[in-house]
Amino acid sequence: MPLLELNHVKKAFGSLLALDDIELSLNKGEVLGIVGPNGSGKTTLLNVISGYYHPSDGEIAYKGRKIGGLRPDQIARMGIIRTFQQNIVYWDTVTLENVYRTCYLTAKTNYWQSFFDTPAWVKENKELWTKALEIVQLFGLGDFSFSLAQGLPHGKQRSLGMAMALAADPDVLLLDEPLAGMDASEMEVVLGNIRKIIERGVTIMLVEHNIKTVLSLCPRIVVLNFGHKIADGSGQEVLKRQGVIEAYLGVE
């Protein structure tokens, strides 16, 4: 059974149909690429899956359960985590603590224990910080642990965003255009980060504009155009489809 399934999912904003009758499935362990020209609905798709928007119609099923209409935090708790195209970080503090805060779901002790500094809490707190440090170092941000997250260079912030997402223990990670605005060297870093996440066994749905990258990372690709799915298959198959080339280059 697929891990994530979208059935006839629609999302409308007033009269604008951002997603039209989307049928999509994501299997455990997959790395699925979502591509399409600007405005094709890629980010809307992620927003709908993560709960930021509610679908206007259709069903989204995750691990067999319907998640359409749930709050983002409920969906996150089930294991779906996402990154954001605009780097959202906790601007009031340093890099390390940013990742510490997104370890929220890992913490098991309750609040009363943390009020009274019980040994159980002290121990778990140390584990949380250790986990945060480990992830920070994994993404090459170790040197920046104690720099203000807000002041990080663009590329590092992008990595931080991914680190924060990974800290939330995702089963499924939705990556929202992680390469946007990156130069060549930054791209390499981000790609490396994505590979590390894949190594950890996280199922990935990658929304990207950069087709070359998607082809190199994703065995399967879905193409969107104007809110419709127009292709679904391996890179080779998809590129051969007439509609796909037209979508990007325009019809003559």
Q: Give the binding site for other proteins (CB under 8 A).
A: 13-14, 50, 52-54, 71-74, 76-77, 81-82, 84, 88-94, 96-97, 100-102, 104-105, 107, 109, 111, 114-116, 121, 125-126, 129-130, 133, 136-137, 142-143, 145-147, 164-165, 167-168
Indicate the burial class of 191 (C-beta count within 10 angstroms; 0-12, 13-18, 19 or more).
middle
The two tokens of residue 109 are 């002790």
Pick 150 or 210: Cβ nearer other proteins:
150
Helices (H) and strands (E) in the chain, counts: 10, 10
Whether the CB-CB separation of 11 and 60 falls below 8 Å is answered with no
Between 12 and 211, CB nearer to other proteins:
12
Considering the complex, state which of residue 6 and residue 96 has its C-beta at the smaller distance from other proteins.
96
Min dist. Cβ of residue 147 to other proteins (A): 7
Q: Of 116 and 249, which has the nearer Cβ to other proteins?
A: 116
CB of 80 to other proteins, least distance (A): 9
CA diameter of the chain: 70
- Residue ranges with strand state E in the chain: 4-13, 16-26, 31-35, 57-62, 65-66, 80-82, 172-176, 203-207, 220-225, 228-234
Instruction: State in angstroms the smallest separation of the CB of 197 from other proteins.
Output: 15
CB of 188 to other proteins, least distance (A): 20
